[in-house]
Amino acid sequence: MRPVIMHPRFGGARAQQVRAACARIGASISTAERQARNLGTAPLLVAALPAGSRVVPAEAFELAAVADEDATLLLFADEPLVLPVVTLQRGRVVVVSPNASPARLAGVLSMLLGVVRPANDTSRERLGTRAWSIEGGATVTLARKGPVSALVPFEDGQAPSADLVERTRSALALANPARIRELIGASAGVVHLSRSPREWIIYWPRTDRRIWIHSPVRLPHVVELGSVASRTDDRIVRMPARSGDVALAVGSDLDRGPQHLQHLRQLQGVEQLMNEGGPTTFERFRGTTSLPMNALVAEVR
């Protein structure tokens, strides 16, 4: 993994936090002075954002000017933000609030860098300008590019057919989500993040399979959408998407799942699982189990 590069004047407690977070996910980190040769290929550049500043500071531009055009600039604000993490410039600039927890910071770095996972880990991770997602088990990506869109099967080990995947893609492309119920029935759920308007479109036909969305800016912070969908004729829920939203969709039967997930029967347990962003939600959800559960975790950037 290519090293994370810090500006030489980025130090103190925040630099220690970044080093600890990098160690937590197995990423290397160094300063620009020590890694001058690698600046052109560095995936992530770290600098401070002084209180009151509303533009990228000059010292950050010093790094960005010689970095790869795809590098992300990670700025640590010296004043609290509305959200723990704010993404700007189509993902090129990420600003972290001083009140972001170590778990949140490790999750941000994991999202931006990608984590080298064990050979037996079959999860699939995707990072776009608008969202991040990771899929487990037989969950299938519907979007070839762009925002999150996934088909979550409700039976373990039974991947949906290629024909069903294509027809579901077509229904979403034609903005005809009502067609999805005719195609899928109760065999799977669909989680889709549309571009315009920016909203969640959730098809969830069964209440014994769970899907939640956690938001740091909405009250309540967590809503279980399966029960909401059960009160609609087409089993579809639409809701505005906001930066920081995290969706957790589980197609597997949690009643037969690992012990560390039994607390998800209560919303309080779900909020504790999902309150530090998408990557941390996935790691907490997976826990120590190696079961290939059908699941999707996604975060709006």
Lowest-confidence region among 77-91, 247-261, 275-289: 247-261
Q: What is the CATH number of the domain that holds 21?
A: 3.40.50.2300
The pTM (predicted TM-score) of the whole model is 0.90
Q: How many CB atoms lie within 10 A of CB 59?
A: 16
Report how far residue 74's alpha carbon sits from residue 84's, in angstroms, rounded to the nearest whole number.
13
Look at residues 69, 89, 113 and tell me which one is the last residue of a structural domain. Answer: 113
How many domains does one find in the chain? 2
197-252 pLDDT tens trace: 799 999 999 999 999 999 999 999 999 999 999 999 999 999 999 999 999 999 98
Residue 249 has which token pair?
């969709």
- Asked if 187 contacts 153 with a C-beta cutoff of 8 angstroms, the reply is yes
Mean per-residue pLDDT of the chain: 88
CA 99 from chain centre, in angstroms, equals 19
Residue 7 has which token pair?
């500006």
Q: What is the CATH number of the domain that holds 286?
A: 3.60.40
Same domain, 202 and 160: yes
Same domain, 238 and 273: yes
Average pLDDT over residues 79-92: 93
Average pLDDT over residues 269-280: 94
Report how far residue 86's alpha carbon sits from residue 88's, in angstroms, rounded to the nearest whole number.
7
Same domain, 141 and 213: yes
- Asked if 279 contacts 132 with a C-beta cutoff of 8 angstroms, the reply is yes
- Tallying the residues shown for the chain, one arrives at 301
- At 34 the pLDDT is 55
| Residue 212: inside a domain | yes
**Exposure string over 148-173, b if 16+ CB within 10 A, otherwise e:** bbbbbbbebeeebeeebbeebbebbe
The boundaries of the domain holding residue 20 are 4-113
- At 147 the pLDDT is 79
| Residue 219: inside a domain | yes
Residue 290 has pLDDT above 70, yes or no: no
Same domain, 140 and 252: yes
Same domain, 81 and 195: no
Q: Which residue has the higher pLDDT, 260 or 170?
A: 170
- Asked if 133 contacts 278 with a C-beta cutoff of 8 angstroms, the reply is yes
- At 118 the pLDDT is 67
> Nearest 5°: phi and psi at 113?
-95, -30
Residue 46 has which token pair?
């770290």
Question: Which residue do the tokens 């990228």 mark?
Answer: 56
| Residue 119: inside a domain | no
